[in-house]
Structure 1
Amino acid sequence: MPRSVDLWIATRKGLWKLAGDAGRQRWSLSGPHFLGHIVHHAVADPRRPGVVLAAARTGHLGPTVFRSADGGQTWQEAEAPPAFPSEPNGRVLDHVFWLTPGHSSEPDVWYAGSVPQGLFRSDDDGRTWQGVEGFNQHPRYRDWAGDPAEGPPGGAKLHSVLVDPRDAAHLYISMSSGGTFESRDRGASWQPLNHGVRADFLPEPPPGSYHEYGHDPHCVQLHPLAPDRLYQQNHCGIFRLDRPGDTWTDIGANLPTPDSVRHDIGFPVTLHPRDPDTLWVFPMDATDVWPRVSPQGRPSVYRSRDGGTSWQRLDSGLPAEQAWFTVKRQAMSADSHDPVGVYFGTTSGEVWGSTDEGERWTCLARYLPEIYGVEVS
C-alpha cells in the first residue's frame, strides 16, 4: 500500500516539512524549525523512522548539527559538533554542508561534509562527531582541496558522501573544488577518481594525460541497487562512471541545446530508485558569465531513460517564460512510489513536484526562503 511522503525543506532562513498523503495529492506545510538560521541540509534516517538530522549554521551557536528522534517535533544539538582541531593558522569550520546516513549494518553511523572541505563521522547517531583523519590530515590534502579563498560561492565544500551498500568500508566523497575521491578502508586512505572528467577552467593537460584533481563536481550519486553505477553533475558537464572502470563518460554532450544555449551544467542529479538507467537533472545557463539561472528564463527538468545516451525535456506545468530560478545540489530528490515522484526546490523559494516521473509538474509550496535542500523521508 502506498505510503505518505514527507519532504524536508532546508532553506536560508530555517527548516520546513512538507507532508503529502499516500496519493501525493494533498500537501501540508509545517514549520519553521530554526527560524532565521541557515539550514544547509536535513536528512531523515532510512534505517530508523523518526530520526532526522539537520546541518545548521546558527547565529549564536555557529556551525552545528541538530538531531530529532520524533520526526521533527523536538530537536537536540550535537554534544560535540563537527570541528577541525584547534591549531595556529589551522582550518576553522564555517558550516556543515552535507549529511549522509552510514551503512545499514552500522545504524548509529553518520557522515558529514563541511566548508571548508572536511569529512566527519559520528558513531553515536549524530550526538558527537570526529574528523576522518585519513582524509582531513592526508599529506596531499592541500593539493587536492586547493586554496579555500579561490573556492566557489559559499566556500569550498565537501559533499556527496556516498557509502557502498555492499561494503561499509567503501566510500566516495567529492569536493567543490577538488574532485571525486575513493576510499576502500573506511576513510583511512584515499585515491582521486577523476579520469575522463573535463576541467575547462584549468590549463590544458599535456597530451595523453589528465588532471588528477582540481575538478569541480557539483553532485555525485551512486545507484543503490547498482552501486557500480555513478552519475556526476559537474561544473563542466554531466558524467557517468561504470565500475570497475575508472574513467568517466561524458553524457552531458548528449543533452539537447535549444537555441544553441549550452546547458549541460547544473547542480543536482537525482536517480530512479529501481532503474539505474533513469536519472533527472535540472540544467542552468552555462554561458560565459555563469548567471546561475534557468536557461533563457525557461526552467525545465531533463530525464534520461538510457543512462544518458538520450534526454527528454520535461517542462509541462513549469513557467514558460521569465522564470529565472535554479536548483541547488541538495534540492532535488525522488520518492520510491510507482510511478516515482520527483521533487525540487528553487532559489526563489518554491517547491515543485511531479507524481509521474517528470511528465507534469505542480507547485506544492511557495514563498519560502531560498531553498538549499529537498530530501524525501
Structure 2
Amino acid sequence: MSKQVKVLVGTNKGVFIYSSNEERRNWSMAGPFLNGWEAYSVLGDSRNGKHALFAGTSHAAYGASIRVSYDFGETWTQIEDGPRYSEESGFSLNRIWQLVQGASSQPETLYAGVEEAGLFVSRDQGLTWSELSGLTSHPTRPGWHPGAGGLCLHTVIVDPTRPERIWVAMSSVGVFRSLDGGETWHTCNVGLARVPTGQPYDEIGYCIHKMAQDPDDPDVLYMQEHCGVFMSKDGGDNWFPVEEGLTMKEGMEPFGFPFVVSKTGDLFIIPLESSEKRSMKDGRLLVYRRHRDETEWLPIGDVVPEELQHVSVLRDAMDVDSLEPYGVYFGTTSGEVFCSTDRGVKWQRLPGRLSRVLCVKTWIIEGEA
C-alpha cells in the first residue's frame, strides 16, 4: 500500500500542511488553516480508522484551545471540553505546547502539555480532557519559575512498553517521571546543570529545552538543556553530558533547542552560537548528527551554504518521519521549512515562506489522503 507523507507546520499565524509521496522529492503546500491563531502544537492521529488532525491554538484575545479537523484542515471544530484549570487552582491556561498520542495499547488516549505548566489527558480521542493534578500539586510547585518562553510543559514521553511510565519536561523546572499513569510524580534531574532561579528546592530549577527517547531502549533518554546536551541510560535517574564535538570548536557552545532521534538511532541537533546571541554562528545553518553508538557530534549538513541564515530553530520545530530511508524536517524563525532524506547531509527547501515556525510534526498516511 502506498503512503502519503504530510509535514504539519504550526506557526504564529496558523497551520500549514506539506504533502508528498514516499519519495519526498516534490511537495505541495496547503494553508494557512486557522489563520491568525498561534499553533504551538499539532498532531496527526490515524488511529481508530479515521484521520484526525489536532492543533493547540492560542490567541491574545480568545485564549488557548484545542481544535480538530477530520478533512486535513479544510474544516475545524473547537473541543468544547478541552483542557482547563479550575478557578480555585489559581493557574491560567495560556498555550497548548504539546499534543502526543498514548502508547499503541491506548488507542483513544492523548496527552496535552500546557502553559502554565501542567499535563492533561483525554481517554476518548480528544473529545474530553482532565487534568493530571498530581503534577501541578507536586510539593515543589511553589518554586516553579518560567524560562524566557514561559512556564511551559513542552515535552511528553510515554513509554511504549509500559504506558503507565510517563516523562514530562518543563522550562525552567526540570524533568518529572510518573510510574503510575500520572497520579504521582518524581523529579529526575540528577547530573543536570542547574540554572539559578532563586527558588528554594534543590531538585528543580533546570531549564530543559527538549527531551527525546531512544526508539529501541525506553530507558535511554536524550536532552538539549540550557547548559548542554545530556543523556540518561536509566530512565532519567541520572544524566551525563554528551558534548564531544560541540564544545570549544569554532567558538561553539552546546546550546540549542530541538533534539530528535531517528528510528535507526541517529541523533540530531541544531546548535546556536550561544545562549546570549541565539542565532547561527557566522550565519551558517548547520545540522549536527551523532549516532547513539558514536562518541562525537559532527556538523554533517550545511543546509543553505550559499546564504547567510541569522535565524533560530525552536524547541519543537524539528521532527523525523518513520519511513525508510527516514526524513528529517525543521522550520526556522524566518518561516522556511527544510527536508533531508540522506541522514541530514543534503537539504531541500520546501515551497513558500511562512511566518515564525513554532512546531513541525510528521504524519504518515496509509493509502491515498
Aligned pairs for 1:225-304 within 5 A: 225-243=216-234, 246-255=237-246, 257-259=248-250, 261-273=251-263, 275-276=264-265, 278-286=266-274, 290-304=276-290
Q: Aligned equivalents of 1:13 and 1:318: distance in 2?
A: 25
Contact 1:194-1:211 within 8 A present in 2 as well: no
Contact 2:195-2:206 within 8 A present in 1 as well: no
Identity %: 34
Instruction: Report the Cα offset of residue 138 of structure 1.
Output: 2.4
TM-score (structure 2 length as normaliser): 0.92
Aligned-partner residue type, residue 220 of structure 2: R
Instruction: Find the counterpart in structure 2 of residue 315 from structure 1.
Output: 301
> Helix, strand or coil for the counterpart of 2:135?
helix
Instruction: Report the Cα offset of residue 60 of structure 1.
Output: 5.2
Aligned pairs for 1:119-134 within 5 A: 119-134=119-134
Instruction: Find the counterpart in structure 1 of residue 327 from structure 2.
Output: 341
Aligned-partner residue type, residue 180 of structure 2: D
Aligned-partner residue type, residue 102 of structure 1: G
162, 166, 170: which one pairs with 1:171?
Answer: 166
326, 342, 350: which one pairs with 1:356?
Answer: 342
Instruction: Report the Cα offset of residue 257 of structure 1.
Output: 4.3
Distance 1:70-1:224 versus aligned 2 partners, 3 A rule: farther
Instruction: Find the counterpart in structure 2 of residue 154 from structure 1.
Output: 149
Instruction: Report the Cα offset of residue 47 of structure 1.
Output: 3.1
Contact 1:251-1:308 within 8 A present in 2 as well: no
Aligned-partner residue type, residue 199 of structure 1: R
Which of 1 and 2 has higher RCO (CA within 8 Å, sep 6+)? 2
Instruction: Report the Cα offset of residue 57 of structure 1.
Output: 0.5
Instruction: Find the counterpart in structure 1 of residue 53 from structure 2.
Output: 52
Aligned pairs for 1:86-165 within 5 A: 86-87=87-88, 90-143=90-143, 145-146=144-145, 151-165=146-160
Distance 1:286-1:2 versus aligned 2 partners, 3 A rule: farther
Instruction: Report the Cα offset of residue 153 of structure 1.
Output: 2.8
Q: Aligned equivalents of 2:14 and 2:294: distance in 1?
A: 35
Instruction: Find the counterpart in structure 1 of residue 82 from structure 2.
Output: 81
Runs of 5+ consecutive residues of structure 2 not aligned to the other structure: 364-369
Instruction: Report the Cα offset of residue 201 of structure 1.
Output: 4.1
Instruction: Find the counterpart in structure 1 of residue 8 from structure 2.
Output: 8
> Helix, strand or coil for the counterpart of 2:218?
strand
Contact 2:195-2:207 within 8 A present in 1 as well: no
Per-residue CA deviation, residues 37-78 of structure 1 (Å, 9 max, x unaligned), is 111110112535511211000355420001123333322111
> Helix, strand or coil for the counterpart of 1:252?
coil
Instruction: Report the Cα offset of residue 141 of structure 1.
Output: 1.7
Distance 1:347-1:262 versus aligned 2 partners, 3 A rule: same
Instruction: Report the Cα offset of residue 94 of structure 1.
Output: 1.1
Q: Aligned equivalents of 1:332 and 1:359: distance in 2?
A: 15
Q: Aligned equivalents of 1:248 and 1:157: distance in 2?
A: 22
Instruction: Report the Cα offset of residue 112 of structure 1.
Output: 0.8
Instruction: Report the Cα offset of residue 320 of structure 1.
Output: 4.9
Aligned-partner residue type, residue 9 of structure 2: I
Contact 1:263-1:285 within 8 A present in 2 as well: yes
Per-residue CA deviation, residues 6-46 of structure 1 (Å, 9 max, x unaligned), is 00000000000011122100000001110011111101125
Contact 1:196-1:248 within 8 A present in 2 as well: yes
> Helix, strand or coil for the counterpart of 1:365?
coil
Aligned-partner residue type, residue 12 of structure 1: N
> Helix, strand or coil for the counterpart of 1:87?
helix
Instruction: Find the counterpart in structure 1 of residue 37 from structure 2.
Output: 37
Runs of 5+ consecutive residues of structure 1 not aligned to the other structure: none
Q: Aligned equivalents of 1:8 and 1:258: distance in 2?
A: 34
Contact 2:57-2:65 within 8 A present in 1 as well: yes
314, 333, 336: which one pairs with 1:328?
Answer: 314
Aligned-partner residue type, residue 42 of structure 1: V
Per-residue CA deviation, residues 224-254 of structure 1 (Å, 9 max, x unaligned), is 3321111001101110111257211100244
Per-residue CA deviation, residues 265-293 of structure 1 (Å, 9 max, x unaligned), is 111001011x23x2000111215xx1221
Q: Aligned equivalents of 1:27 and 1:367: distance in 2?
A: 14
Which stretch has the larger CA shift, 48-57 or 183-192?
Answer: 48-57
Aligned pairs for 1:56-67 within 5 A: 56-59=57-60, 61-67=62-68
> Helix, strand or coil for the counterpart of 1:228?
coil
Q: Aligned equivalents of 1:191 and 1:91: distance in 2?
A: 21
1:180 and 2:175 correspond: yes
Per-residue CA deviation, residues 101-121 of structure 1 (Å, 9 max, x unaligned), is 112111111111111111111
1:306 and 2:292 correspond: yes
Aligned-partner residue type, residue 152 of structure 1: G
- Number of equivalenced pairs: 361
- Cα RMSD (Å) of the superposition? 2.1
Aligned-partner residue type, residue 198 of structure 1: A
Q: Aligned equivalents of 2:351 and 2:148: distance in 1?
A: 26
Contact 2:5-2:24 within 8 A present in 1 as well: yes
Q: Aligned equivalents of 1:244 and 1:43: distance in 2?
A: 25
